[in-house]
């Protein structure tokens, strides 16, 4: 990892723990090295602005960052999330789609998602279901595990986050058909998992957490309940 990437990573980490002052220092350090107009500087500055003044202030800077580097997936994704916060559904979908296309291209270039990696994720997911109490597992008897690289373009075009880790999918069925008898599947998005969690032990824990999170959604748990249970 070069110095610039290290500074960006440190900036993300500072924001993740709420250390805005440190993140702002890193923006200045980046600017000293690559210039204030560099897309990476503008992007990190936008994230700092979001924490201080909200998504509207961030969006102004993110638009500048997109113009500076329209092929940066992280910038596109942040812009989509800002649009979502601001109620701009069209902008959100546009930036989400660009994020998806750029990420997929980078997957191909980096060889992300080998058969062995996909098999590992599927096996961990199946083991997570097998470890559930019988009374829960019995209600998931017809649940399949499908591992895809990333969400489909169709799904993303409808506003689904292209960097989501998974989703519980229940196909459309006749209204009066019992839900318990309907075919169901947990879709896991391998490239998103692999890019976010590079160490195998951490990846395995996150796959398990994602499976449990999606099952909790299926059983009607709210986000705050999943946070309390450690599944958020």
The set of residues, in sequence order, having a beta carbon less than 8 Å from that of 55 and lying 6+ positions away, is 81, 82, 85, 86
Across residues 119-148, what is the average pLDDT? Answer: 90
Tokens 């990190």 -> residue: 44
Within 13 Å of residue 76, how many CA atoms lie on the same side as its CB?
Answer: 19
Q: Where in the chain are the domains? A: 3-110, 115-228
Query: Could you tell me the strand order of the sheet in which 184-189 lies?
Result: 143-148, 184-189, 166-169
**Domain at 3-110, CATH class:** mainly alpha
Pair of tokens at residue 66:
């997109």
- List, in sequence order, every residue forming a beta bridge with 184; answer none if it has no partner: 143
Amino acid 225: pLDDT: 54
- Is this model's pTM higher than 0.75 or not? yes
**Token pair listed for 143:** 């649940």
pLDDT in tens, 92-128: 999 999 999 999 999 999 999 999 999 999 999 999 9
Q: How confident is the model at residue 231 (pLDDT cuts 50, 70, 90)?
A: very low
Q: What is the pLDDT of residues 31-64, one digit of tens each?
A: 999 999 999 999 999 999 999 999 999 999 999 9
CATH number of 115-228: 3.30.2010.20
The confidence band for 137, taking pLDDT boundaries of 50, 70 and 90, is: confident
Q: What is the pLDDT of residue 172?
A: 54
Contacts of residue 93, defined as CB under 8 A and 6 or more positions apart, other chains included, come to 80, 156, 157, 158, 159
């Amino acid at each position: 990892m070069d110095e610039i990437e290290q500074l960006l990573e440190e900036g993300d980490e500072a924001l993740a723990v709420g250390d805005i002052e440190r993140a702002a220092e890193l923006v200045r350090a980046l600017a000293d090295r690559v210039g204030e107009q560099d897309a990476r500087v503008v992007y990190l500055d936008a994230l700092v602005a979001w924490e201080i003044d909200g998504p509207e202030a961030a969006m102004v800077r993110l638009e500048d960052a997109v113009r500076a580097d329209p092929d940066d997936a992280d910038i596109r994704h942040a812009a989509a999330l800002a649009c979502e916060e601001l109620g701009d559904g069209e902008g959100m979908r546009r930036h989400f789609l660009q994020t998806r296309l750029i990420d997929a291209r980078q997957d191909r270039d980096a060889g992300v998602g080998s058969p062995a990696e996909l098999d590992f994720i599927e096996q961990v997911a199946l083991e997570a279901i097998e470890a559930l109490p019988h009374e829960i597992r019995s209600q998931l008897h017809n649940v399949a595990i499908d591992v895809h690289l990333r969400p489909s373009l169709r799904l993303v075009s409808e506003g689904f986050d292209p960097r989501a880790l998974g989703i519980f999918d229940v196909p459309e069925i006749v209204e009066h058909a019992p839900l318990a008898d309907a075919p169901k599947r947990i879709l896991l998005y391998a490239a998103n998992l692999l890019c976010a969690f590079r160490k195998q032990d951490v990846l395995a824990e996150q796959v398990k957490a994602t499976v449990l999170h999606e099952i909790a959604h299926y059983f009607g748990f709210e986000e705050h309940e999943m946070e309390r249970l450690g599944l958020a």
